[in-house]
């Protein structure tokens, strides 16, 4: 067994030190590390935030009463504005790339107002606020 390696139960050798330690050591010894080129297509969606918009998005993230969906959308917009690829943003905020793209497009179209749910979504009420059945109010 070589120095600095360990054997697994299957007889394979693997480094005894974690990858992050090896990377730091290679950087400290002036070894050149090649950065792999990014794969895939580049997105044409670029978000440029004003200082007020960035503050508003960060405030919504810090607020404890913000819904989970709105917080995810804010985090996604901030990630795209910071230059991260859509796939990476989707992984970080636990959405699909399709949904990240949808929310970025809505943000670019309507800015901060585009991040809210549209009215009329969800199930219609079964009971009216007056206490009767909504479906039978016309029959009275």
Q: Summarize pLDDT for 8-39 with one digit per residue, the tens.
A: 455 555 455 454 444 455 445 554 544 555 56
In this prediction, residue 137 carries a pLDDT of 54
Domain layout of the chain by residue ranges: 51-115
Residue 135 CB-half CA count within 13 A: 2
User: Are residues 14 and 8 in contact, defined by beta-carbon separation less than 8 angstroms?
Assistant: yes
Distance CA 60, CA 70 (A): 8
What per-residue string of b and e applies to 87-121 under the rule 16 or more CB within 10 Å gives b? eebbeebebeeeebbebbebbeeeeeebbeeeeee
In this prediction, residue 126 carries a pLDDT of 77
Cβ-count burial of 61 within 10 angstroms (0-12 exposed, 13-18 middle, 19+ buried)?
middle
Distance CA 60, CA 66 (A): 6
Distance CA 93, CA 80 (A): 11
Cα 53 to chain centroid, rounded = 18
In this prediction, residue 34 carries a pLDDT of 47
105 vs 121 pLDDT, higher one: 105
Is the pLDDT at 138 greater than 80, yes or no? no
Strands 13-15 and 5-7: antiparallel
123 vs 139 pLDDT, higher one: 123
Identify the three-state secondary structure at position 13. strand
> In this predicted model, what pLDDT tens digit does every residue of 63-116 receive, in sequence order?
999 999 999 999 999 999 999 999 999 999 999 999 999 999 999 999 999 999
> In this predicted model, what pLDDT tens digit does every residue of 37-75 receive, in sequence order?
556 667 788 999 999 999 999 999 999 999 999 999 999
**The two three-digit tokens of residue 87, written as one number:** 């796939």
What's the whole-model pTM score?
A: 0.60
């Amino acid at each position: 067994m070589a120095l600095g390696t360990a054997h697994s139960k299957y007889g394979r050798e693997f480094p005894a030190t974690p990858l992050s330690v090896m990377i730091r050591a290679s950087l400290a010894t002036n070894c050149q590390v090649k950065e792999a080129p990014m794969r895939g297509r580049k997105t044409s969606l670029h978000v440029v935030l004003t200082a007020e918009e960035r503050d508003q998005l960060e405030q919504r993230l810090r607020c404890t009463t913000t819904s989970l969906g709105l917080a995810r959308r804010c985090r996604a917009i901030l990630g795209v504005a910071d230059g991260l690829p859509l796939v990476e943003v989707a992984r970080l905020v636990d959405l699909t790339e399709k949904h990240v793209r949808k929310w970025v497009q809505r943000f670019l179209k309507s800015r901060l107002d585009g991040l809210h749910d549209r009215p009329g979504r969800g199930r219609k009420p079964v009971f009216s606020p007056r206490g009767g059945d909504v479906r039978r109010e016309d029959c009275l």
